[in-house]
Amino acid sequence: MKSQIVTFLIKCPDQKGLVAKITTFFYEKGFNILSCQQYANAIEDTYFMRIRLNAAGTNISKEALENNFMELAAPLKLDWSVNYGDKKQNMAIMVSHTSHNLYDLLERQKEGLLDCNITMVISNHDKLRHIAEMFKVPFYYLPVTKETKTEQEAQVIELLDANKVDLVVMARYMQILSSDFINHYPERIINIHHSFLPAFQGANPYKKAYERGVKLIGATAHYATEDLDEGPIIEQDVEPVTHESTPATLKRIGADIERLVLARAVKNHLNNQIIVSGNRAIVFPEAGE
Query: What is the set of active-site residues?
Result: 229
How far from chain centre, in Å, is Cα 185?
12
Query: ∠157-159-164 over CA atoms, to 5°?
Result: 90
Length of the chain: 289
Q: Is 125 exposed, middle or buried (0-12, 13-18, 19+ CB in 10 A)?
A: middle
Output phi, psi for 212, to 5 deg. -90, -10
Peptide bond into 13 cis (omega under 30): no
DSSP 8-state class, residue 284: P
Distance CA(66)–CA(243), nearest Å, equals 57
203 neighbors 151 (Cβ within 8 angstroms): no
Q: Which residues contact 154 (CB under 8 A, 6 or more apart)?
A: none
